[in-house]
Amino acid sequence: MSIWTSGTSINNGRYTIQQYLGRGGFGIAHSAKDEKKGNIVVIKTLNPTQISPEEFRTQERKFYNEGMRLAKCNPHPHIVEVYEFIEINGISGMVMEFIDGDNLASYTRDHEGLSQTEALRYINQIGQALERIHALGFLHRDVKPHNIILRKSSQEAVLIDFGLAREYTLGAEVNMTNARSQGYAPIEQYERYGKFGDYTDVYALAATLYKLLTNNEPLPAEFRKIGIPLPPPQQFNPKISDRTNAAILKGMELEAVNRPQTVRKFREILGLLVQPVVNIPIETPFNDNPVTGQKRPQENITTPQSGNQNAQLKSSSGMDYKKLRDLLAQGKWKEADEETVRIMLAVGKREKESWLDTKSLDNFPCEDLHIIDKLWVKHSNGKFGFSVQQKIYQSCGGTLEYEPEIWEKYGEKVGWKKKKLLGMGGEWITEYNITFDITAPAGHLPSGLRGILGKGGAASLGLRLVDCNL
């Protein structure tokens, strides 16, 4: 039931109600136009028709506390932002960021499940949001696909609905409301008195990943408690890697003590926290993956000087790599850089758009990434290539999270950014200043991808390189 109709002016004309968005629990939400700033916002209030007069003040205090907890988390790119608190005719209102996009439940249903790379990107982002929440001393307690929205403009995941968020003391037995979302709530949320901790949200985050990858609702904890086993996610989706399958099951352990105790640890066992690599010889690009310990695929990439010149130079996607091989063999680095861009747009089926979006990167064939990388590495004697750039980035302390200071340090190391001298310089160089020569710094090439990656593309490419074991 809506408490306002479209066109209603509130807060002395500051906001004009647009439409009713929905309700949950005791809350109700409307979109509204901020007449001062011209943008669309969400105004969330208590729904007086759902609360008895005796309970109203108690619920109002909880509502205000929700807003205060949420405001403490801002700003964060993956947590919905609170702008201000208002009061209209005795009803408290919270003015919040309007996120244009679908929730992950609808998005997953429409796509009949997500690829592992795409799903892990969203879990990584929401994991970072939860770490921020936990650092402030409270839990979300209602992480699920319905409470995660994808920004339409950037496809970044944003955590919403902090109505069940509560402060907690790790290890202490506390009395919390038993409100919960079946399938995503751990067993401790079915108990009136229980021990809550970061691991409570870990369970929900793992259950969310289960849903994203299988398009199936996870078996509720209360059913598991009576002996019904949780089907492994690989049972519904055999494309899920063994590592991800095991991590989900670990995160959804029935007993809290058996789960990863922090979200960071859960992200680590998923392989989302690439640890800095120190003292990795740039000249040995064919070593096993130093992060995962997995063996690298041993493609037999040949050169014009080695017997069979056409072996393994045409991928299963139909791309022919002989031209790239020949350009690299001749030391035509600029032309090889341009050919690499052409190949990646063609393989990603983004030639018309001339840039790679997150979806095309998520689904980019590992085979093609390996061929491109090994051609660059081989003909530069281990100086250029994706795997070389990955190692340098990791040696700078880089992970799959975007950290401006690390990215700038990396840019300086590979020669894409000028070093600051006496407070001067430090600018990122343009495509016209790239050094197309073997004397360029290690990792300087290929560089053309910088111009064809959309917003969030660098992070998506990095995640795909890890996923493909480069």
DSSP for residue 139: E
The rounded distance, in Å, linking the Cα atoms of 369 and 78 is 29
State the 10-residue block means of pLDDT for the chain, 470 residues long.
78 90 73 92 76 68 72 81 82 85 93 92 92 84 92 86 51 48 88 79 96 95 93 95 95 94 93 53 36 40 40 82 94 94 93 85 89 94 92 79 77 84 63 88 91 70 78
Residue type present at position 376:
W
DSSP for residue 351: T
455 torsion bin: left (phi>0), alpha (psi -120 to 50), beta (else):
beta
The rounded distance, in Å, linking the Cα atoms of 131 and 137 is 10
> Of the candidates 141, 155, 285, 299, which has an alpha carbon nearest to the alpha carbon of residue 207?
141
- Beta-carbon contacts of residue 314 (< 8 Å; ≥ 6 apart): 320, 321
Lookup: tokens for 66: 């929700």
What value, to the nearest 5°, has the Cα angle with vertex 214 and ends 209 and 219? 75
Lookup: tokens for 331: 């030391």
* pLDDT value for 275: 47
* pLDDT value for 422: 46
Burial (Cβ within 10 Å: 0-12, 13-18, ≥19) of residue 390? buried
The rounded distance, in Å, linking the Cα atoms of 94 and 3 is 15
The rounded distance, in Å, linking the Cα atoms of 413 and 429 is 13
* pLDDT value for 50: 60
> Of the candidates 354, 370, 373, 378, which has an alpha carbon nearest to the alpha carbon of residue 451?
354
* pLDDT value for 149: 93
> Of the candidates 58, 80, 69, 90, which has an alpha carbon nearest to the alpha carbon of residue 139?
69
The rounded distance, in Å, linking the Cα atoms of 341 and 405 is 27
The rounded distance, in Å, linking the Cα atoms of 157 and 420 is 35
According to DSSP, the residues that pair with 96 across neighbouring strands are 42, 82
* pLDDT value for 358: 77
* pLDDT value for 346: 94
